[in-house]
Chains A and B, each alone.
Chain A
């Protein structure tokens, strides 16, 4: 098996006449945190949804852990879904269940797990996602946006996935909360051997946790590489993105932290 656990080749996504991706290639390597950036409407979230099989690509292949996602069906697809966890933008928690019950949902698929164990594991995941004990019995409507994201993360981690998909994990969080979330992602990656596919707009997040960055523009992955490489790209949009005033501020704080 190659080093890449997600291989996207020649992907074309199209809604009606609107082409979102055309000839898109992307790799996620084992154990890395890949940040996917791009302007609004460049199809970052669509790419995430296509990889996890929520959208059907018009052409091209998506291979996850060596298997073609589009060709999977039935038990093979279920087995694949257990190997990744997805955190949606707003947490996407089931509103009629408490946080603990939300995290227990994926655990219910596990045969032979006693209710006490399930409860204990759910509470562990809630705690690992950085939520206080009291959050367990709360309903999603009682939580702040940041806590909802953490609860969504706890649910994504419930079955110890190998790949974690995060859609805008820090959008809408205050800087302190976003910082804590960045650290949490790195910690969890180190502790749980995760590979993380992270869609973001947040330059601080890119600095703080991404090993590699892929820039989506012109319907494909324009460039990918480390932050240092990104800074040398002379495509106008990429240059503007990584050299704008916000980028400089993010970089300055990044250096100060180091």
Chain B
């Protein structure tokens, strides 16, 4: 076998009734075929120095069209025979719907998938509640160590970022509010603005969004990698209930820590607002405290924090569900993780909107 040259060349000579090819006829020179090759009825291959499967594939195709091949030695004929035997046989195409029907079908499928998703989320919520009930009836089955560990992971570790974020939100609100309210000479109402917006909405909502990004992805990744590793199947065969071992401590840890994080966010937001009011408007901290206590009802705090456990459930259930949906390949782990974060944030915002309507109707 001649070794491959760096720049392979295929030469061709036009014969009376066909084409003579010389040189290397390989995948690299397939593109160098002269245009006459398409119409030639005879291909003389006796001067080729090299022939590979790509060229053989081409020749087999031409032969099937009735082109005569000359000058094939035994080993090359054998190669052609191998290629001919290996030629893929396409399966009969099944005609699917086309055009608007395809679009309709896809829309229907997406709709059905969304409903299935909702049903599964409900299922996981049920599994969590069942596990919780079981833990209450049989406290011995409950994994306290695991719960504490997850409280540290999802709660304690999130304190710095949550506090900083909320502090900055307070600063921004005070700054922007002061700029607007000064036009009416109503600077002092900036305290009400900060207090109501932070305590009622922003503190807990932004905390939930940060926790959704931080914890939902972590839940999906940790449960998903266990799923990939068949650890969850191993648990089942060992008589351990994944709901008790995995889902309950994780979701419960979120339910416990998110209200606490929300409270920290509230305090940090007020601190940021107070600081900025002092710098920008000259409202002293004691004045801020006085106005805050006098004007702002504690209802705002209750309304804000009452949302926290619900947000925690949403984030935890969506994260655990996505983790359990991970398949055997690493790609699904990445896809499910990002989907879990997006879904969790989206669901938290939707729930917040529903809460707003609810509290407005109730009159709180």
Binding site for B on A (CB under 8 A): 1, 65, 79, 82-83, 95-96, 107, 110-114, 117, 120-121, 123-128, 133-134, 136, 140-141, 157, 159-160, 162, 187, 191-193
Contact = CB atoms under 8 A, between A and B. Distances in A.
A134 B91 CA distance: 7
Interface of B: 1, 3-4, 6, 26-28, 30-32, 52-54, 57-58, 61, 78-79, 82-83, 86-91, 327-332
A193 B1 contact: yes
Given A123-B88, A126-B88, A65 B3 contact: yes
A65 B1 CA distance: 12
Contacts of A121: 27, 53-54, 57
B263 to A, nearest CB: 44
28 contacts: A1-B3, A65-B3, A83-B4, A95-B331, A110-B27, A110-B28, A110-B31, A111-B28, A111-B31, A112-B30, A113-B30, A124-B57, A124-B88, A125-B53, A127-B87, A128-B86, A140-B329, A141-B327, A141-B331, A141-B332, A157-B53, A160-B52, A160-B53, A160-B54, A191-B78, A191-B82, A192-B52, A192-B82
B86 A127 contact: yes
A145 to B, nearest CB: 10
Given A124-B53, A136-B88, 12 more contacts: A79-B4, A96-B331, A110-B30, A111-B28, A133-B89, A140-B329, A141-B327, A141-B329, A157-B53, A159-B27, A160-B26, A187-B82
B145 to A, nearest CB: 35
Contacts of A107: 27
Nearest to B327: A141
A128 B53 contact: yes
A114 B54 CA distance: 13
Contacts of A133: 88-91
Contacts of B4: 79, 82-83, 162
Contacts of A134: 91
The 6 A-B residue pairs with the shortest CB-CB distance in the complex, in nearest-first order? A112-B31, A127-B88, A160-B52, A141-B329, A191-B82, A128-B86
